[in-house]
Copies of this chain bind each other. A is one copy, B any other.
Amino acid sequence: MDIQDLAGRVQSGERRALARAITLVESGRADHRAQAGALLDQLAPLGRQALRIGLSGTPGVGKSTFIEAFGMFLIGQGLKVAVLAVDPSSARSGGSILGDKTRMEQLSREKNAFIRPSPSQSQLGGVARRTREAVALCEAAGFDVVLIETVGVGQSETMVAEMSDLFLLLLAPAGGDELQGVKRGIMEIADLILVNKADGDLKQTAMRTCADYAGALRLLRKRAYDPAGFPKAMTVSAVTQDGLADAWAAIGELIDWRRANGYWDSRRAQQSRHWFEEDVRMGLLSVLNRKDTRARIETLGAQVAAGKLSASRAAEDILAHLRPTGEP
C-alpha cells in the first residue's frame, strides 16, 4: 500500500481514502499496524483539529434520529461532519450498531458527512486506540465536527469522554422516578444534557424532565473547566429540529470559553497523556493474548483451581516464562 498516496488523499478530504485509512488503523495485523503508524505520523504535522463531541444516550431516546437531524443542521452551517460509533458490545453480536447506515439515510448521502460503524473488537482497550486513531484521521481529512457516539455499556462512555472535547448526554422525557436511572458517573461527565422528543404530546413532559435534570446538575460539584451555567440541560426535538440551534449555540459558548481560558489545550494535553499511559498498559498486557501464553495460563489455571498449585506460584511461573523471551 502506498502510504504517502493514501495520506495525500485523506488530507484532501476523499471519503473513500478516509474509509480505507480507518480500515487500516482498525486492523490487528502487524504490517497494517506499522503502516497505520506511518500514516498517522505523516498526517500529524497538519495539526488540524475538529471539535470532538462525545455522545451517549439511553436506548429508545432516538439517538440515530438526533444524530441525523443534528448532523444535517451542522452541514447547513457549512460544516463537515464525521460520525464514529463505538460499541464494545458489538464484538459479541458480530454486528455494528450503525449497520448499513440505514439508520441515518439522509446524512449518509451528504458529501460533507462521513459515517463509520463501530469496529467489532472484543477489547475495550483496542476499541479505544482504534477510535482515537479514526478521530485523528477524520481531523486530518478536514472534518470540522467529529461526533463519537457510544452506547451506555460498561466503561465505554468514560472512554469516549476521555477522547472528546465535550460530552453530550441525550435523554428521553421521563417521570421523576426514572431520573434515578441515570448513573451518577455519567451525569458527572456530561457537559450538556439534551432532553430529546420535546415535541407534540411529550413537549410538556420533556420540559419538566429538563428542569429535573437541571436541578440534578446543580447538585454536582462545580468543575473548574466550566463557565457559569454549565453543565446545562436543554430540550431538543430531532423531529421538528426545535432546539438544535440553541444547543449548538450553547456548545459554541462552552467551547469558546474553554479555548479562551486554556482548558481546550490543557484538556487535550491531559487526554494525550492518559492515552499514552493506557497504551503502555495495554502493550504490557497484550502478551496475555498470545496463543502460547493463553495455553499456559489455561494449563496452570486448571492446576490452581484443583488446589495443586498456589495462585502466586502459578503467576510467578507465567511471569518467569514471559520475561526471558523479551518478546511480549
**A315 touching B283, Cβ below 8 Å:** yes
Interface residue from B280, B319, B328 paired with A297 (Cβ < 8 Å): B280
Does A161 touch B at the CB level, under 8 Å? no
Return the CB mask of A129-165 against B: 1 if under 8 Å, else 0.
1001100000000000000000000000000000000
List CB contacts (< 8 Å) of A37-96 with chain B.
37, 40-41, 44
Find chain B residues with CB under 8 A from A41 CB: 310, 313
Copies per complex? 2
15 A/B residue pairs, CB under 8 Å, sorted by A = A41-B313, A129-B312, A269-B305, A270-B305, A276-B300, A276-B311, A277-B297, A279-B311, A279-B314, A280-B315, A284-B319, A284-B322, A323-B327, A325-B326, A326-B326
Does A285 touch B at the CB level, under 8 Å? yes
Q: With A and B bound together, what is the CA distance between A132 and B280 in angstroms? A: 28
**B315 touching A279, Cβ below 8 Å:** yes
Find chain B residues with CB under 8 A from A323 CB: 326-328
Q: With A and B bound together, what is the CA distance between A203 and B193 in angstroms? A: 43
Find chain B residues with CB under 8 A from A273 CB: 301, 304-305, 311
**A269 touching B313, Cβ below 8 Å:** no
Find chain B residues with CB under 8 A from A133 CB: 312
Q: With A and B bound together, what is the CA distance between A86 and B133 in angstroms? A: 40
Determine the residue in chain B with the shortest Cβ distance to A318.
Answer: B280
Q: With A and B bound together, what is the CA distance between A313 and B275 in angstroms? A: 11
Return the CB mask of A9-45 against B: 1 if under 8 Å, else 0.
0000000000000000000000000000100110010
Find chain B residues with CB under 8 A from A109 CB: none
Find chain B residues with CB under 8 A from A288 CB: 280-281, 284
**A283 touching B326, Cβ below 8 Å:** no
Does A261 touch B at the CB level, under 8 Å? no
Find chain B residues with CB under 8 A from A295 CB: none
Q: With A and B bound together, what is the CA distance between A284 and B313 in angstroms? A: 15
Does A216 touch B at the CB level, under 8 Å? no
Does A106 touch B at the CB level, under 8 Å? no
**A301 touching B277, Cβ below 8 Å:** yes
New contact pairs (15) apart from A41-B313, A272-B311, A276-B314, CB-CB < 8 Å: A129-B312, A132-B311, A269-B305, A269-B306, A272-B304, A272-B310, A273-B305, A273-B311, A276-B300, A279-B311, A279-B312, A280-B297, A280-B318, A281-B288, A326-B326
